[in-house]
Amino acid sequence: MKRELIAGIAVAAVAAGAVELHVNPSAAPDGDGSAARPFATLVGARDGLRAARKAGTVTKDARVDIVLAPGDYVLAAGLALDAQDGGASADAPVTWKAARPGTARIVGACRVPVAACRPVTDPAVLARLPEEAHGKVYEADVAALLPAEQPPMAERFGATPTAPLLFINHKIATLARWPNDDFTSFSKSVDRGAVLKRHAGNSAEYGPGAFIYENPRAKRWNFAQGVWMNGYWTHDWDNYSVRAAAYGVENGTNDVVRLATGVPYGVMGGTWGRKGRRFYVFNLLDELDVPNEWYLDRVAKKLYFYPPNGTLAATDEVFLASLNEPLVKTAGSINHLRLQGLVFEYTYNTGLSLAGQGIQVLDCRVMCCGASGMSVHGNRNVIRGCEIAQVARVGLSVGGGDRRTLQRAETVVEDNHIHDFSMMQRTYAAGVSVSGCGITLRANVIHDAPHMAVIYGGNEHVFEYNNVYRVLLETGDAGAYYTGRDWTTQGNVLRFNYTHDLGAEGELANTMGFYFDDCDCGDAVYGNIFHNVARGILVGGGRDHPIRNNIFSRCLVGLSIDCRGMTWKHWNSMEHGGPSWMLEDKAKALSYTNGVWAERYPRLADIMNDYPREPLYNPVEENIFIDCTKQLLALDGKAPLERMASIARNVVVNTRGTNGVAWAAPDKRIASAFIILNGTTNAPCSFGFADAANGDFRFLPGAEILKVCPGFQVLPLDRIPADAGSKTTRDR
């Protein structure tokens, strides 16, 4: 009775504003949620609010703030929320927030006490460690943290290895590997892997393959004990980890590495991209030789790791994570939930997995996740001002709306800093993955990843004022922004984005800023900047991509429009392309010739009567090309120019002229579509840009280029956030 009275007084005291419930990880276990006697756990706060609502001491329409005191909230299981835990309206949400932003941390891992760690002295272990690592590698008995029997590492996986994961000082630790920062390679396969089973579209399952690897370093690895390899086994856009079964002589051939199981596409099974196939070895105690590497003896439950500076300080954080569920998850749909100023860190699984309406994630940090950072699906949701980093897979997955009716989600993702993602699933795990209808991605900074920054499908999305750089660092045939193989992804707008300094495949130019792959349709491209990009835009055989008022600076190829729909046997073919290439069937599933679809997208509704295999309605107008060296607009030789849209009023700037300087001349078929401005090697000319060579595209007063191209609209550069770490980037 006394406890109920105190809770009632606490609620009444703030009845005029929000109802406040308090949580403190240092509190006694019998708290009531008041400031004087806070709950000790997040589950206690959740259940306390449920009980108060059931008792009527907190009305259903009351605004509720659950205030977390500074400290670590260590979870043994994910915090599960459902419909009863949401708010009544946008004005009366349930808010979980930090008393001081950034000081309350929700953790899904066990701390390895620094006091329990000591430098390795066991002669048998030292004999395996590289000599330069002696005295710098620490060990700890983690049997108490891992009481269950630890399963062996999976033989094959496309993303996160078998639990647990180690985190050191806010970073995902690296399973001891070689090479430490790059790949080694091979160029000859002796067995691509027998085809075990064929599927529709000629896809296949492969048996174990084998290749020749002559590097003598392989002789130091114990293949019987276990050697894992992460590789781009056939394509530069497909990456898998697999155990190597054996190394040695096979059928009279020396230095053969035989994999333990098959990988997609086999080993060098029709390689597209680099000739040499790349891989690195990992999970080897013998290669534990640089800071942030680790190894776990799964039988003895001994942890070995190399601290950041070769010594372990009392302030260092070492966490071991096995929790295989999101830190916070919703069962079904929840309305008007707000998470504000919180830190979610250290988990084997995903940080946040939320679904519902009116969800807001504001000024939070989601870090060190063994799966994805955050998933938010539903309508009228907001993710703003967050940092998502050090995640193994996708940074943020967001979806909503109704594609069938083209009802917009009206979800906004803005002003977030997303970096160091796709750290284990090294392809097709984007910084942001967008699906559904009507989502806005605005003013985000996205950088540092092996593959793409944004992957999307669906309709009526807006991507604007985003700054993307240092992605595509390992991959080929890929785009920083990517969508593809669907006629129905219509109505999307990409405007005023800055995409720069991407990974490149040398003269292959097969990493793109925007990639509209395999007959994708319906993306308007306006006012974007592509700087130091191998290929700015690739339109892969699709249509309805107006490309206007963009800047292509220091690209090998400015943009390309190809005719793969006209020449590839995959097009609309189950036999050759499989279900994913059945473009008309995908459109029929959305009743594309009727109702709102036919009204919104009339050219799509008529596509089967309008040269459906041709790349039509892709106007290229009033774009500026600066110091592009290989091609300006690469057009397929089969391009039906007489039916294609206007290519006109584009400007080419060669700041150092063309005499002895690599420059991209216009295709002779469309030469009249380009006005060429040449400086000289002795007197380079910017023609009005402040410093285009270094990424400053502000126009100077009286810029000559605007006189030559009077239709070009000056870009709102002040709305694009600066690179992270620059002095103009807002404090995060």
**Three-state secondary structure of 283-306:** CCHHHCCCCCEEEEECCCCEEEEC
CB–CB of 459/438 below 8 Å?
Answer: yes
* pLDDT given at position 272: 64
Q: What is the spatial distance between Cα 45 and Cα 66, in angstroms, rounded to a whole number? A: 7
Query: ∠ CA 79-83-84 to the nearest 5 degrees?
Result: 85
Question: Of 154, 152, 249, which Cα lies nearest the Cα of 210?
Answer: 249
Model pTM? 0.96
Q: What is the spatial distance between Cα 695 and Cα 500, in angstroms, rounded to a whole number? A: 8
CB–CB of 54/328 below 8 Å?
Answer: no
Question: Which residues are CB-neighbours of 563 under 8 A, at least 6 positions away?
Answer: 541, 614, 615, 636, 638, 639
* pLDDT given at position 18: 87
Q: What is the spatial distance between Cα 76 and Cα 28, in angstroms, rounded to a whole number? A: 18
* pLDDT given at position 392: 98
Place of tokens 């790059």: 182
Place of tokens 């059945």: 582
Which two structure tokens, joined as six digits, stand for 323?
Answer: 């929790």
Which two structure tokens, joined as six digits, stand for 109?
Answer: 């891992």
Q: Are strands 253-259 and 240-250 parallel, antiparallel or unpaired?
A: antiparallel
* pLDDT given at position 131: 95
- Segments of the chain scoring below 50 in pLDDT: 1-16, 727-732
Q: Are strands 535-539 and 557-561 parallel, antiparallel or unpaired?
A: parallel
CA dihedral 566, 569, 571, 572 (to 10 degrees): 130
In eight-state DSSP terms, residue 405 is T
* pLDDT given at position 16: 46
Instruction: Kindly report, residue by residue over 616-660, the tens digit of the pLDDT.
Output: 999 999 999 999 999 999 999 999 999 999 999 999 999 999 988
CB–CB of 75/106 below 8 Å?
Answer: yes
CB–CB of 64/34 below 8 Å?
Answer: no
* pLDDT given at position 729: 33
Give the CA diameter of the chain: 91
Instruction: Kindly report, residue by residue over 90-128, the tens digit of the pLDDT.
Output: 999 999 999 999 999 999 999 999 999 999 999 999 999
CB–CB of 451/511 below 8 Å?
Answer: no
CB–CB of 620/550 below 8 Å?
Answer: no
Place of tokens 């806005």: 440
Q: What is each CA distance from 502 to 4, 470, 538, 555, in whole angstroms?
A: 60, 5, 15, 10
The pLDDT mean for the chain works out to 94
Instruction: Kindly report, residue by residue over 632-642, the tens digit of the pLDDT.
Output: 999 999 999 99
Residues forming beta bridges with residue 654, ordered by sequence position: 678
Question: Which residues are CB-neighbours of 161 under 8 A, at least 6 positions away?
Answer: 153, 154, 175, 228, 241, 283, 424
